[in-house]
Amino acid sequence: MAERKPFEPIPPIRPGDRVLRRWRRPRRRLRLAPNVPGMVRFIKEIVTQTPFLPILSVLVVLWLLFSAGLYFAERGANEDLDSYGEVLLWCLTAIQTMGSPHMTLTTLGRVIHGVWIVMGTMLFWGAIIASVTSYFMRPRQHPTKQIINTIQYNLGILEELSADELETLKRTTVGLIETRMDQLKQGSS
């Protein structure tokens, strides 16, 4: 069985060139189980860093208010919308642009219907679009945070690192700790 060399040849660009590239094992592995901590961290970021929760709460309050208004406007005139549950379902299908077989019959019900469809649709899709946009448009994390994340990753695969990589990891970690200690000393004095 042939031993794998630490460097692999790369096809030369010009005749006579000899280029070697360090061989690395692929770092990504197939996950059979979902990354639950990553998903929890993602949901936490969405809730804390984007306007999703405030917009969603406004949407729910308006949904309940418009449903109550439509229920009272259509209560005696419309058999299809005779319970508050039916009206809640109708309002939910209206903002998702799915449509509903029930039609409003009173003038006040039609006004509430029209206003709710416009406002609800804008808030429903606006919450989704605003959250996705603000998540991806957030300012980049501070470089120190990225370095710390890299160090944590490398500590997780410590056995697989070479001597040079361990030395680089050591220098970087010591440098970060000394910088932070200097900042703390300057802040306290």
The pLDDT-based confidence of 59 (bands split at 50, 70, 90) is confident
Residue 7 has pLDDT above 80, yes or no: no
Q: Indicate whether 132 and 59 sit together in one domain.
A: yes
Taking only the tens place, the pLDDT of each residue in 87-97 is 888 888 887 77
Domain that holds residue 171: 140-184
Classify residue 100: in a domain, yes or no: yes
Classify residue 128: in a domain, yes or no: yes
Q: Indicate whether 64 and 110 sit together in one domain.
A: yes
Span 144-153, average pLDDT: 74
pLDDT of residue 189: 67
Single out the residue in 100, 120, 136 at which a domain terminates: 136
**What contacts 179, CB < 8 A, 6 or more positions away?**
none
Q: Indicate whether 81 and 159 sit together in one domain.
A: no
Put simply, whether the predicted model's pTM sits higher than 0.75 gets the answer no
Rounded to the nearest 5°, which phi and psi values hold at 68? -65, -45
Q: Indicate whether 155 and 100 sit together in one domain.
A: no
Within 13 Å and on the Cβ side, how many CA atoms surround 6? 2
Spatial CA neighbour of 118 closest among 141, 145, 91: 91
Residue 64 has pLDDT above 90, yes or no: yes
Residue 116 has pLDDT above 80, yes or no: yes
Total count of domains within the chain: 2
pLDDT of residue 118: 86
